Structure 1
Amino acid sequence: MSRIHIAARDNGAGLSRDLRILAGALGDAGFDVTVSAIGQGGPRRQLRHLQLRARLALERWRGGAARGRFDVNIMLERVWRKYPPLAWRNALVPNPEWFKPEYAPYFGAVDRVFAKTRHAAAIFEALGRRSDYVGFTSSDRLLAAVPREASFFHLAGRSGNKGTQPLLDAWLRHPQWPMLTIVQREKLPSPLPGAANLRYVTRYLPDAELRQLQNRHLFHLCPSETEGFGHHLVEATSVGAIVLTTDAPPMNELIRPDRGLLVPYSHTGTQRLATTYFVDSGALENGVERLLALDAGERKALSERARAWYESNDADFRRRLVAAVDDLARTG
């Protein structure tokens, strides 16, 4: 089986999650996987990199492969200059909204883009690099024993692109709506707007506590401006939540009307290579009202289809990833 090296910044958030998912999926498929988690562990991580380079030099001195000990090197979000020489072939798993101009000079070291969304595949194909739509998956957060409540949940985490402010504004205009729980580790407006149906969680949540919240709330509100993939949307489908999100790419790749609710946007912007989409406030309010109007049968059907899609997407991602890595390794 091919030898794979995965490199990413271990940021304790989305990239760390991507790193674990990729390494786990490839390891489960039988690949020999080595991980370089950059930015955590201090000198140990630097030592690990030096050991890799020393091993490469030793192989060359012994007359081994002229280029690298790995068959495929996979870099997340950016091209790390020190890693391409360690492998025969190099792949990039990018996030368009975080692809900085300073990464462009090193883009030539990339043999293939593994795109998490079809939206990203088109963007990087236009830059002249072959882009394979691989897709992605998220952790399965389901706790079937947790009772669902017809209340609302918004997981913003550390991101400023999750459409938190429009949700706050909508809830302040509708004190009759059920409770909205907002989990946000970045700073929210100060002072926080108070309302009897708004609950803020700004402290660090242990994963077990966060998972309970994800399962307890039936409605997950994710009116994102842009997404590299959309873990909070996909984790929501894993628990069978009914997701409201922006009717724009790539959010509407993940959530479709048969398993959630799409809300139109009013205007757009840009963030590096990505287009940002800002949800229409009136349409957002109408969307919440539509969720509240669902009867028990409609809720059950949407929830079951969301969970079924999660399982199907997870299996499809693993299949496409293995096929893409095998194909790239064979070109070595």
Structure 2
Amino acid sequence: MMRVNVIAWDNGLGLSRHLRLLAGALRASGHDVTMTGLRRGNWRKLGRRIKLGTRNVWNHAFGDRGWARHDVNLLIEHIRPEFLPAARYNVLLPHPEWFLDSDRELLPRIDAVFAQTRHAIAIFEQLGQRVLYTGFTSEDRRDGAVPRERAFFHLAGRSQHKGTVRLLALWRKHPEWPRLTVVQNPKSATPGASAANIEHRIDYLDDAALQRLQNAHWFHLCPSETEGYGHYLVEAMGIGAVVLTTDAAPMNEFITSARGLLVACTRSGRQNLATTHYFDEAAMEQAVAQAIALSDADLARLGNAARTWFADNARAFPLRVDAALQALPH
């Protein structure tokens, strides 16, 4: 059993989900877990208070006698230097697309990198890091009581890197296609011309409403330009939906032709350490046509294969994380 401190920005979105899921996996393996969720603005203040030795914060991080309270810090996405002395080992779970120059400067102080995708292994090995593959997991959102339609769903959220604008523009060119429902955060949405077969929900949905929408659609469009992990994609697999995603790493680690539909793409550029990709419009048109033409048996086959992968991965994740922790020097 190890004393593990899981540290992440508690943003109420994907990172909060990461924080909770990782802590749960560690507890399932018998570890003593502390969750340190940082809110915007407060972590810099917290770091200053630790450096100044404010008693209650110092004790939280280092213990009553000033030595490292934790065996391991697990730092999600960014390296928080003010927490590094609080553990014997510091391990990073990075998202390459959000890995900053300031994080790179601190890499020598990291003992290991836990890679959430195979794609991330080579990226961080090239930076001279010891990398252990853990993968990750997502929430099980399946609700078999919700009737499922032969319609398309795209969960854009607040991200600007899910191909949403281009996807909506392409759908407007095809009034013959089935309905596309897009859920997008008002802070990042770009409203366009209305179309009879597009339902663009620029709104904050409660979790129950979102879960119902996820389960109500057979087809989930996930044409990400890049992903650190990709909860919206893996959640769709857990539902047993047919996922259409970009045929590029790391998206095609999750979706293969045996459990979804891949869309050819072109390289578009870089976002920090990640390569970004745009889906090819003609390839997307072909993939949508292929999806529409699938028989009920094909839908069940692809959906069941996706669900099986999701369940197998969920069972294996706590074991992989525990094995990676045990691989740290003792």
TM class by smaller structure: over 0.9
2:42 and 2:271 map into 1 onto residues whose CA distance is 31
Contact 2:142 2:215 (C-alpha < 8 Å) held by counterparts: yes
Secondary structure of the equivalent of 2:167? helix
Distance in 2 between residues matched to 1:88 and 1:298, nearest whole Å: 51
Measured in 2, the distance between the counterparts of 1:301 and 1:2 equals 41
The corresponding residue for 2:65 is 59
Distance in 1 between residues matched to 2:58 and 2:83, nearest whole Å = 9
Shift of 1:193: 1.6
Q: In the alignment, what sits opposite 2:189?
A: 188
After TM superposition, where is structure 1 displaced by more than 6 Å over at least 4 residues in a row?
A: none
Task: After TM superposition, give the deviation of residue 12 of structure 1 in Å.
Answer: 1.3
Offset at 1:267?
3.2
Kindly state the Cα deviation for residue 189 of structure 1 after the two structures are TM-superposed: 2.5
Q: 2 CA distance for matches of 1:126 and 1:315?
A: 30
- 1:322 maps to 322
Report SS of the residue matched to 2:327. helix
Show structure 1 runs of 5+ residues with no match. Answer: 61-66
Alignment length, in residue pairs?
A: 322
Aligned to 1:63: none
SS at match of 1:211: helix
Q: Is the 8 A contact 1:153 1:214 kept in 2?
A: yes
Decide whether the 8 Å contact of 1:53 with 1:86 is kept in 2: no
Spell out the pairing of 1:275-286 with structure 2 (5 A cutoff): 275-286=275-286
Deviation at 1:181, TM superposition (A): 0.2
- CA distance in 2 between counterparts of 1:157 and 1:315 reads 27
CA distance 1:72–1:57, change in 2 (3 Å): closer
Q: Which amino acid aligns with 1:82?
A: E
**Matches of 2:92 and 2:212, distance apart in 1:** 34
Describe the SS at the equivalent of 1:204. coil
Rounded Cα–Cα distance in structure 2 between residues aligned with 1:127 and 1:187? 33
Deviations 1:284-315 (A, max 9, x none): 01100000010111111111111111001111
Q: CA deviation at 1:57?
A: 6.2
Q: Would you say 1:153 and 2:159 are equivalent positions? A: no
Which amino acid letter does the alignment assign opposite residue 189 of structure 1?
T
Q: Secondary structure at the match of 1:153?
A: strand
Measure how far apart 1:35 and its partner are: 1.3
Q: How far apart, in 2, do the equivalents of 1:105 and 1:258 lie?
A: 41
Other-structure match for 1:64: none
In the TM superposition, residue 154 of structure 1 has moved relative to its aligned partner by 0.2
Q: Which residue of 2 aligns with 1:130?
A: 130
- Paired amino acid for 2:251: M
TM-score, length basis structure 2: 0.94
Letter in 2 for 1:188: A
CA RMSD of aligned residues (A): 1.8
The 10-residue stretch of structure 1 (114-123 or 165-174) with the greater mean CA deviation from structure 2: 165-174
Q: Which amino acid is 1:25 matched to?
A: A
State the SS of the aligned residue for 1:58.
Answer: coil
Structure 2 residue 104 is matched with structure 1 residue 104: yes
Query: Structure 1: how far apart are the matches of 2:142 and 2:78?
Result: 32
Are 1:306 and 2:325 matched, yes or no? no
In the TM superposition, what is the alpha-carbon distance from 1:326 to its structure 2 partner? 2.2
Q: Percent identity?
A: 48
1:222-301 pair list within 5 angstroms:
222-301=222-301
Q: Hey, what does 1:31 align to over in structure 2?
A: 31
- 1:42 deviation in Å? 5.3
Cα deviation for residue 170 of structure 1 reads 1.5
SS at match of 1:102: helix
1:57–1:266 distance in 2 versus 1, CA, 3 Å: closer
The CA deviation at 1:187 is 3.0
| Contact 1:226 1:274 (8 Å CA) reproduced | yes
**8 Å CA contact retained: 2:113, 2:130:** yes
After superposition, the Cα gap between the structure-2 partners of 1:130 and 1:247, relative to the gap in structure 1 and judged at 3 Å, is same
1:26 partner amino acid = L
Q: Residues 52 and 72 (structure 1 numbering): CA distance in 2 closer, same or farther, change over 3 Å?
A: farther
1:10 aligns with 2:10: yes
Relative to the length of structure 1, the TM-score reads: 0.93
Secondary structure of the corresponding residue to residue 166 of structure 2:
helix
Question: How far off is 1:188 after superposition?
Answer: 2.7
